Amino acid sequence: GENVEQHPSTLSVQEGDSAVIKCTYSDSASNYFPWYKQELGKRPQLIIDIRSNVGEKKDQRIAVTLNKTAKHFSLHITETQPEDSAVYFCAASNYGGSQGNLIFGKGTKLSVKP
Amino acid sequence: EAQVTQNPRYLITVTGKKLTVTCSQNMNHEYMSWYRQDPGLGLRQIYYSMNVEVTDKGDVPEGYKVSRKEKRNFPLILESPSPNQTSLYFCASSSRQAFFVNTEAFFGQGTRLTVV
């Protein structure tokens, strides 16, 4: 089955700096790669996703890149703000295939210092 | 309002006493899953379902049961809870309708279970 590795487990940056979180996956059939943000005491919520037919996607200060050959994808947050502090999870799925389930990485706790 | 509803939000129980955590979604989603969240271990999948009467084990299914008799409901059953099942549980649902849209997984509010 799919296995997703996520690094780093914790990340501390100064407000205004950039943050990068990296994930690798094992199943070459995976074709959907979302990122979820979980604030303290709340449920995970989707912030951005990318499908296997594109290499990069951007939404304001957030971008995700995908390298299918190397089987890794990354989340980039620019101009970080204190409200970006949260736990971020990457995930991978073979969407529409025999398994429609999401497999998550272990998460990255991002702290943005004012 | 589109939502996934879990009940209860908090539960303290004793070892061996059967319990059920309910999950219901109103978005007509095909996929539903249960995850447990433990510090340092992220979100680990317990069971998932691709549609009515179709369920399969995730990474950590031992000690849990599920059923999918109706599309909207996906209850998680602990027949004989043990302290190592103390955790935060999330139900999630997503659509299989189209790959390029509607793929977001929506999570319930979470159920914090303590087994003593």
Report the alpha-carbon distance of residue B111 to residue B6 in Å, rounded.
Answer: 7
Report whether pLDDT(A98) > 70: no
- The pLDDT, as a whole number, for residue B97 is 61
Residue environment code for A1-35, b if the CB has 16+ CB neighbours within 10 A, otherwise e: ebebebeeeebebeeeeebbbbbbbebeebbbbbb
Give percent of chain B with pLDDT exceeding 90. Answer: 81
- The pLDDT, as a whole number, for residue A54 is 84
Task: Please state, rounded to an integer, the average pLDDT across all residues of chain B.
Answer: 92
Q: What is the pLDDT of residues A76-93, one digit of tens each?
A: 999 999 999 999 999 998
Task: Please state, rounded to an integer, the average pLDDT across all residues of chain A.
Answer: 92
Q: Cβ separation of A96 and B50 shorter than 8 Å? A: no
Identify the contact set of chain A against chain B, taking CB-CB distances under 8 A.
Answer: 1, 6, 9, 31-32, 34, 43-46, 49, 51, 89, 95-96, 99-107
Report, as ranges of residue numbers, the positions in chain B whose pLDDT lies below 50. none
Give percent of chain A with pLDDT exceeding 70. Answer: 95
